[in-house]
Amino acid sequence: MSDESIKDITIIGAGPSGLFTAFEAGMHEASVRIIDSLPESGGQLSALYPEKYIFDVPGFTRITAKDLARNLFGQANQFSPELRLNETVVSIVDKISSEGPAQTLFEVSTDKGVYLSKAIIIAAGLGAFKPRSLGLPEVGRFEGNSVHYFIREKEYFKGKDVIIVGGGDSALDWVINLIDTARGVTLVHRKDTFRAHPNTIQQIGELAKRGRIKILTPFEVKEVYGDEAIKGIRIIDGTGKEADLRADALLLMLGFTSDLGPIEKWGLDIDDSRIKVNLNMETNRKGVFAVGDIANYPGKLKLILTGFSDGARAVKSALPYIRPGDKVRHVHSTSLKIFSKTS
């Protein structure tokens, strides 16, 4: 599927940086297309820690990651950007614009289509990231129905016997988070020690002592079985001792692998697995900018708030590529007429 309409800005990545960049672009009356390979917007906020509280977003004493993602989407959506989810950008190629040599034009190809854009802002975070699995071939057929790598809604696990595999913060946090929702929670880890916050480890130990959860270590998952959905797993320890555990849901919290994937082939200067930009968020390619976690410059902090400021700067830097010859003015949102159109 292809769309011939030329957007002013294509934003690659719908994480917090991409969403706020889309808002900034809308505020400057630029048309926007956002593309993300994940099935929902929010980036790491939605995929990795939706239920966790974030304490360092300006203006909020605390806010859950999923609420922040929802708010950012709402803020960007005031300007109706075109949102293309479940699409991975594979290449960006320079084209010759019919508007003359001063006008940049890019052909953005995804695994589903080809789109045209005057400027590109890459907000691709950690790059394409995917969860680690167990290395058992049978797991694939249960993925999405009873084997999960992300938790979107706790309520989904209501009344279920849940097994969580992993020994890091995510695994232990979800044991604690699901205890009041699931019928039973069992934690399986291949080592006797956990790599999590000491307070969380202590909390988990106390819950196990009180019989609220089961902890099985050092065990590895040997087999996952079921029909349509999983029915249970078989675990094994270093001595060859095996046990069967009943389960309605298996949460694999084994961490993520991330790599820049196709981005490495886009002719951009890469520094420490991130895209090198100057303080105007410009990459080495004219008309291509990078913001958020993926952008690297001296003193860069990988924080949500940094992505917001990167986004504001990138849009300002992109405006001369969208409207060549126009003077770029510094504006405050409080004095913009555009908000009377959207409110």
Ligand X SMILES: Cc1cc2nc3c(=O)[nH]c(=O)nc-3n(C[C@H](O)[C@H](O)[C@H](O)COP(=O)(O)OP(=O)(O)OC[C@H]3O[C@@H](n4cnc5c(N)ncnc54)[C@H](O)[C@@H]3O)c2cc1C
What is the smallest separation between the CB atom of 284 and ligand X, expressed in angstroms?
Answer: 18
Q: Would you say 97 or 203 has its CB closer to ligand X?
A: 203
Query: Tokens in use for 271?
Result: 């520094």
Q: Would you say 233 or 290 has its CB closer to ligand X?
A: 290
Residue 278 half-sphere exposure toward CB, CA atoms < 13 A: 8
Residue 172 half-sphere exposure toward CB, CA atoms < 13 A: 20
Q: Would you say 48 or 207 has its CB closer to ligand X?
A: 48
What is the smallest separation between the CB atom of 205 and ligand X, expressed in angstroms?
Answer: 22
Q: Would you say 248 or 310 has its CB closer to ligand X?
A: 310
Q: Would you say 136 or 279 has its CB closer to ligand X?
A: 279
The DSSP annotation for 196-252 comes to S-HHHHHHHHHHHHTTSSEEETTEEEEEEEESSSEEEEEEEETTS-EEEEE-SEEEE
By beta-carbon distance, which residue lies closest to ligand X? Answer: 125
What is the smallest separation between the CB atom of 87 and ligand X, expressed in angstroms?
Answer: 6
The partner residues of 233 in beta bridges, in order of sequence, read: 224, 245
> What residues make contact with ligand X under the rule CB under 6 A?
12-18, 35-38, 43-45, 48-49, 54, 56, 88-89, 123-128, 261-263, 292-293, 302-305, 307
Q: Would you say 244 or 264 has its CB closer to ligand X?
A: 264
Closest Cα to residue 261, out of 150, 159, 128, 134? 128
Q: Which run of H or E residues covers position 316?
A: helix 304-322
Q: Would you say 20 or 219 has its CB closer to ligand X?
A: 20
What is the smallest separation between the CB atom of 20 and ligand X, expressed in angstroms?
Answer: 8
What is the smallest separation between the CB atom of 130 and ligand X, expressed in angstroms?
Answer: 10
Residue 44 and residue 18: Cα distance in Å, rounded? 12
What is the smallest separation between the CB atom of 76 and ligand X, expressed in angstroms?
Answer: 12
The DSSP annotation for 20-73 comes to HHHHHHHHTT--EEEE-SSSSSSTHHHHT-TTSEE--STT-S-EEHHHHHHHHH
Count of CB atoms situated within 10 Å of the CB of 138: 13
* 3-class DSSP assignment, residue 334: helix
What is the smallest separation between the CB atom of 236 and ligand X, expressed in angstroms?
Answer: 30
